[in-house]
Amino acid sequence: MLSRRRQARYIEVMARPKLELVEVSPRDGLQNEPELVSTAVKLSLIERILAAGFRRLEAGSFVNPKKVPQMADSPEVFAGLPRREDAVFIALALNRKGVARAIAAGAEEINYVFCASDEFSVRNNGGTVAETLAVWPDVVADAKAAGVRIAAVISTAFGCPFEGEVPISRVVEIAERIAQHAPFELSLADTIGVASPRDVVARFAAVGAIMPPQVQLRAHFHNTRNTALANAVAAVECGVAIIDGSLAGIGGCPFAPGAAGNVPTEDLVYMFERMGFDTGVDLDAAIAAARFIGEALGKPTPGMVSRAGGFPKARA
Ligand code: ZN
């Protein structure tokens, strides 16, 4: 029998389920903004992200600096990160060379990206889906040898800018191949912001059914067509407990000039906390961080809660 105090704690925890928000503005956000920000501004943003309570964030990517000049200083960003036991800094990589560079830079976790469509894969990852899957066992071995956690991402999992519809069977087939050398986490990414909540439920249910139970699922949404918040709710309602966001909604979409970016994290914090979830994030501090990055970019940003503020407090 639990003590009364433990029972009360249990009820409290059950009433406020935990939801992990992974902050991707220093990587996905800034990577897709035309303005370059300095390493110092990136580190200052990361400091604010940690102060707001986030404990996992994408700090940079190890890709071709000629193709993605916004991430060229990722080694310097990783070198400048605070040493904290309670935070995990993620590096993105698309190939074995990128993984080696991320490990050398001191990344503790790697997000390894696959594409669900061949044309996008050739343009983004430098090879077809089959070619990139062929090196996956080596990538996992490299990460394990270095003691680095590895997560896999399937980008364009809801639609491709070149090939259009991506069948669910295709996503499941790629997830099955990934599962043969299981990462600790698998993310489905709506890279171009085309998903609807129904697609989210269908794809996560199909992938969840074939993944080993120890592989946690994560969702990554872009708000290109204003469906990202609805998609995040759909993902959480079908059991996904880890959602990506980018403060202020920065990020844009490389295939839709002028489009909104990633789902704004502070909007996720507001909504899910009001729905009774415990995100561990302080909304006011998240809004302050969102405003900081908006000012650094020198332009209005798409996030809405950073403009409106949180729930009004009663007048004293
Ligand atoms: Zn993205």
* Residue 221 CA, ligand 1 centroid: distance in Å: 7
On the question of pLDDT at 28 being above 90, the answer is yes
251: closest CA among 286, 221, 284, 217?
221
What is the spatial distance between Cα 280 and Cα 91, in angstroms, rounded to a whole number? 22
Name the residue among 279, 115, 138, 121 with its Cα closest to residue 189: 115
User: Token match 């390493």: residue?
Assistant: 39
Q: Which residues of 239-277 are buried (b: 16+ CB within 10 A; e: fewer)?
A: ebebbbbbbbbbbbbeeeeebbbbbbbbbbbbbbbeeeb
Residue 10 has pLDDT above 80, yes or no: no
**Mean local confidence (pLDDT), 131-151:** 97
Closest CA to 89 of 62, 57, 64: 57
Residue 13 — very low, low, confident or very high, per pLDDT cuts 50/70/90? low
Q: Give residue 262 CA to ligand 1 midpoint distance, Å.
A: 6
Q: Over 80: is that where the pLDDT of 133 sits?
A: yes
Residues with catalytic function? 253
The pLDDT mean for the chain works out to 95
Q: How far is the CA of 195 from the centre of ligand 1 (A)?
A: 13
Residue 220: pLDDT over 90: yes
Which one is predicted more confidently, 270 or 254? 270
Quick one: pLDDT at residue 258? Answer: 79
| 27 Cα: distance to centroid of ligand 1 (angstroms) | 9
3-state SS assignment for residue 7: helix
Decide if pLDDT at 156 tops 90: yes
The pLDDT score that the predictor gives to residue 93 is 97
CB atoms near residue 17 (< 10 Å): 13
Query: Which two tokens mark 65?
Result: 């600096």
For residues 130-149, b (16+ Cβ closer than 10 Å) or e, as one string? Answer: eebbeebeebbebbeeeebb
Would you state the pLDDT for residue 316? 77
Residue ranges of the domains in the chain? Answer: 18-253+260-299
Exposed / middle / buried, residue 163 (Cβ in 10 Å: 0-12, 13-18, 19+): middle
Categorize the per-residue pLDDT at 1 as very low, low, confident or very high, splitting at 50, 70 and 90: low
Is the predicted pLDDT of residue 2 greater than 90, yes or no? no
Between CA 25 and CA 28 the distance in angstroms is 6
Measure 6 CA to ligand 1 centroid, in angstroms: 41
Query: Architecture of 18-253+260-299 per CATH?
Result: Alpha-Beta Barrel (3.20)
pTM check: above 0.75: yes
**If pLDDT is split at 50, 70 and 90, which confidence band does 40 have?**
very high
User: Distance (Å, rounded) from C-alpha 74 to C-alpha 62?
Assistant: 7
pLDDT digits (tens, 9 = 90+) for 77-97: 999 999 999 999 999 999 999
pLDDT at 162: 94
Ligand 1 mean position, distance from CA 208 (Å): 21
Q: How confident is the model at residue 4 (pLDDT cuts 50, 70, 90)?
A: confident
- Which tokens belong to 137? 């066992």
Q: Are 152 and 116 in contact (CB under 8 A)?
A: no
**186, 218 Cβ separation under 8 angstroms:** yes
